[in-house]
Amino acid sequence: MRLLLALFFVLVLLVGAAAAEPSDIGARLAAAAIEQTKARVVYDPSYRRMAYPGGDVPADRGVCSDVVVRAFRAVGVDLQKYVHEDMIAHFAAYPRLWGLTRADANIDHRRVPNLEAYLTRAGASLPLSLRAGDFEAGDIVAWNLRGEAGFLPHIGIVTDRVGVSGWPLVVHNIGAGPVLEDVLFLWPMTGHYRVTLARSAPAS
């Protein structure tokens, strides 16, 4: 089952990469994230029932994780489906932060720790680094906004644009909708992920 999911995930990425330019998955994810900054989106973390697969909250609503989910959707990859299916098969591999006893396709993919768990299981995790040169367009970065004072997860997508700091600019939604900002090393980083055609889904 897991091998079939992995093969299917790679097939989706291959088809998507062949269907549009630029063909590089990272560049396409970054471009899709930047495109989101053109729309007005109200920060709304409320639980909502949605279609499955391919479900989403209203286009004018969203949180940080929705930036990532929508960017992947733009390149033909439905993280709602992949996270949900992996959680059904391997629920114990995911964080128990919300008192859940089973997978929930309405919300699982919208929670940063779940996205981090899925990307780690997919083999997309990279070492944490404070070197700007270690980050590429399309990389996914997660932070703990509270640092040592607590836990408040956040996530965004690295772009090919560079800020005055010399760091790659990041698209994220921290409350004012998707924005392109110079925040890569502003908070303690908890995860750095890069999706490629060869490393895309949990290994068996």
The predicted model scores a pTM of 0.87
Q: For residue 106, what are the CA distances in angstroms to 21, 49, 81, 118? A: 31, 5, 10, 16
Amino acid at 125: S
pLDDT of residue 194: 97
Give the confidence band of 152 by pLDDT, cuts at 50, 70, 90: very high
* CB-CB contact of 146 with 165 (8 Å): no
Number of Cα atoms under 13 Å in the Cβ half of residue 153:
17
In the prediction, which pLDDT does 14 show? 36
Write down the pLDDT at residue 179: 98
For residue 122, give the nearest of 198, 67, 65 by alpha carbon.
198
**Planar angle of CA 6, 45, 85, nearest 5 degrees:** 20
Return the H-helix or E-strand segment holding 114. Answer: helix 112-121
pLDDT tens per residue, range 63-91: 999 999 999 999 999 999 999 999 999 99
- Evaluated on CA atoms 159, 163, 168, 173, the torsion sign reads negative
Average pLDDT, the chain: 89
- Mean pLDDT, range 119-124, rounded to an integer: 96
Task: Say whether pLDDT at 34 is over 50.
Answer: yes
Q: Measure the CA dihedral 41/102/97/184, to 10°.
A: -40
